[in-house]
Structure 1
Amino acid sequence: MLQDRNYSHCDGSDAESAPAVDIAVVGRFHGFDLARELQRYGMLNTLLSTYPSRYSNRWGVDRVHAKGEPFLEVLRRFGGRQKLIGNLKLQSYVATRHARNAARVARSSGADVFIGWSGSSLEALIAAREAGKITILERGSSHCNEWRALMREESRRFGQAFDEMYFFWQRELMEYELADFISVPSTFVRDSFLKHNVPAEKLLVNAYGVDLGAFRKVEKTDDTFRVINVGGFHRRKGSHYLLQAFAELDLPDAEFWHVGSVSPEMRPVIERYADERCTFHGHQPQDQLYKFYSQASVFALASIEEGMAMVQCQAMACGLPLICTTNTGGADLIGAEGHAGHVVPIRDVEALKARILHLYENRDLAAEMGRRAQARVSNGLTWADYGDRYAANIRRIVAERAQDGAAVGADVARANEAWQS
């Protein structure tokens, strides 16, 4: 559901001296949040999205900056359902058509910086580089080689075939090479790129944010210990491991809530492990999620691969401690182990059980960790904080380019860690 919100803006007094930025994104992701925050700094030139341009002000982006590709959005949302063309062919078409549209923007725009999303930016990156612009690639998940290895193994464990998606794999590898910088949301993602020989100075680490107006704690109406999980219930999310852990604990006066869609592949898992203590609420509007978070005791996420799940920040803003895997970006959000939650290895049902049981048996500690979580997101993990860090990175990169003739990224590593201090 699209929500109207009011956002404050800076006065733009330094807009004339600010670097100009073009952003191109398929769908929305956090592209509108980034655009809004760069607009606050007077940096936003163009936001190209598959969303109709008239929707931009619902996320605080002035319509004058917005260019829409609604035909691609219709294809992306409904083409696969209607079986107009094969789903992979459809995704490929949307990605390349968007990238070519973004390339036209990059060629004609007077912006200094181009930011595009991985998998749908190849042609635009080429055009932007030819135009002498600084290029930043947004990658929300681990390096595509790491992602493939993790998901291939999970498919094998599930006894299912893995879709190699060679088209997107090859595009992404070329995008990694072409981009001057790659912006990633967590140290987990950064480390995956380092593992695959991407230079550290090319990586910008910047944790996503949360809208504190939309996600807030309200009073819990009962004393039931409740584990909540929000998002898709499927393989990549490790949903089967989490439900198995809850079921095997068999705790009195405890419940499991899932909010979001359920993949058909998970139906046998639900039939095996779910009982009357497990409630599947289905998809819910974003503006209602805080009510579900607030009735829980702990947020748990067992993902096999996820760069930084934004639902973790949302849960923390609603006063919940986290239990998450190493591959969710949650370790960056929690800080020190045990401060605002716990981090466990992927696919480790026993570790999930141990952490859930610990918080079940220590309700006061769980509540205190939830208060710490709420304080942590309020000071450094809002969208404004995200925008501040992004704008600082852009200014630094542009200054380095002007001074040295190339974006050398001399002090990027220090900037990457600054937000955690």
Structure 2
Amino acid sequence: MQVVSSVHGVFHHFDLARELESLGHLQRIYSSFPWRRLAREGVPRERVRSFPWIHPALLAFERRVSLPKPVSQTLHTRSMQIFDQWVAGKIEDCDVLVALSGSGLKTGAVVQSRGGRYVCDRGSSHIRYQDAAVTEEYARWGFPLRACDPAMVRREEAEYERADLITVPSEFARRTFLEMGIASEKVKKVPYGVRLDRFRKTGSPPQDRFEVLFAGTVSLRKGVPYLLEAFQRFQHPKKRLRIAGPVEPAMVQTLRRFDLTHVEVLGRQTQPQLAELMSTSHVMVLPSIEEGLALVQGQALACGCPLISSVNTGGEDLFTDGKEGFLVPIRSPETIQRSLEKLADAPGLQGEMSVAALERVTSIGGWRDYGLAYVSVLNDLLQKHSENIPR
């Protein structure tokens, strides 16, 4: 089986490509990033082809100039369309194309016209579900913006229809596709692997105060305002909330609405710094409105840090509610507050959940497990295709 991967950027596709290469299945991976960025990903250069002329320039420009969100969305959609068109003109004959959603519509059609199969890999919920949920969140906080470019919504839905298979990383993401009318047999769940070798317990939470952690992009999509509201309500004489991650522009204004006493906004952190923060926190809270499978959850578990995660984080695929942490509804500061109080009022419970978290990570697969599971899905797809070919 020869597999070609196509990804606008990097994401987890190079982790998959690395495993496909080791298993003898990787024919090529196409990316919109330059080789100097891709060299660190561990895929042999002869397997990589890049089109670095538009996407990196756009990202560099946006670091210097703050574009209105609709303009930025339009430019990124156009960048993906151009990348897809370039790959479609270069791609070799292959058995399967695995393309990140948004970047495989034309290339997928080319592969199918040659007798191959096209897999659309979506790292989050169905784009129409995502657009509705996050657009509603923007409106709640006074931002009349669309979460997704309408042109990208149309493009991705066309990909879902054309694809022979859609892969997603969590049961939450899979449910959103079924809710949007996609046939269950067309959507396969393959949970991501986690580089647990980079995350291990390096310390313990202090006994004289209660440490709460958030790790990720500080955004409305991640539900940060609900954590801040819960933390304000949470009564503890020595509490602290550490927020680790880059802050989106919309959140700068939103943060001013909250009392940030006992809150530290740390900005972007390295992986060793994150491991230290996770190890020395009593709990990590991830109240996301929508995402596919937040990898920081597995990383926190590997550091012995219990979780409070919304049901829309993919957390149910990583831990059990009430054992290694708590699953809570979205937009529910009251439930987050109660969960914080349970852990703070019963130090023994926090310790039990920490031990359970360390035990749980032994059952969470790494990227090799992800690669093997993905190959199994692709083999099943090709087998079903061969059975349907008239003889």
TM-score, normalised by the number of residues in structure 2: 0.93
For 2:127 and 2:359, the matched residues in 1 are separated by 34
**Residues in 1 aligned to 2:373 and 2:187: alpha-carbon distance in whole angstroms:** 14
- For residues 218 and 287 of structure 1, the distance between their equivalents in structure 2, rounded to whole angstroms, comes to 9
Report how many residues are paired.
385
Q: Tell me by how many angstroms 1:368 deviates.
A: 2.2
Aligned counterpart, 1:368: 352
The CA distance in 2 between the partners of 1:282 and 1:47, in whole Å, is 32
AA aligned opposite 1:41: L
1:39 aligns with 2:24: no
| Structure 2 residue 7 is matched with structure 1 residue 25 | yes
Query: Which residue of 128, 141, 147 corresponds with 2:124?
Result: 141
Choose which of 78, 85, 92 in structure 2 pairs with 1:93: 78
Moved more, 182-191 or 92-101: 92-101
- Residue 368 (structure 2) pairs with residue 384 (structure 1): yes
Paired residues of 1:151 and 1:162 also in contact (CA < 8 A): no
Residue of 112, 117, 122 corresponding to 2:105: 122
- Residues 142-184 of structure 1: CA distance to partner in whole angstroms, max 9, x if unpaired? 1112112112221221122122511101101100000110000
| Counterpart contact for 2:77–2:149, Cα < 8 Å | no
Q: Deviations over 1:20-41 (max 9, x none)?
A: 1100111111111111111121
Pairwise CA distance, 1:256: 0.5
Aligned residue among 323, 326, 335 for 1:339: 323
Amino acid aligned to 2:145: F
Runs of 4+ in 1 over 6 A off after TM superposition: none
Contact 1:296–1:320 under 8 Å retained in 2: yes
Residue 259 in 1 paired to residue 244 in 2?
yes
**Cα RMSD for the two superposed structures:** 1.9
SS of equivalent residue, structure 1 residue 70: coil
| Gapped regions of structure 1 (runs ≥ 5) | 1-18, 407-421
More displaced, 256-265 or 232-241? Answer: 256-265
1:1-400 → structure 2 map (5 Å cutoff): 19-83=1-65, 86-106=71-91, 109-163=92-146, 165-220=149-204, 222-223=206-207, 224-334=209-319, 336-400=320-384
Moved more, 36-45 or 364-373: 364-373
Deviation at 1:323? 0.6
Q: Is the 8 A contact 2:101 2:120 kept in 1?
A: yes
2:215 maps to a residue whose letter is V
Q: Distance in 1 between matches of 2:351 and 2:367?
A: 25
Post-superposition CA distance 1:31-72 (Å, at most 9, x none): 111111111211111111122234444222122211122223
Q: What fraction of aligned residue pairs are identical, expressed as a percent?
A: 34
Instruction: Give the deviation of 1:342 after TM superposition.
Output: 0.9
Aligned mates of 1:369, 1:168 — CA distance in 2: 41
Structure 2 unmatched runs, 5+ = none
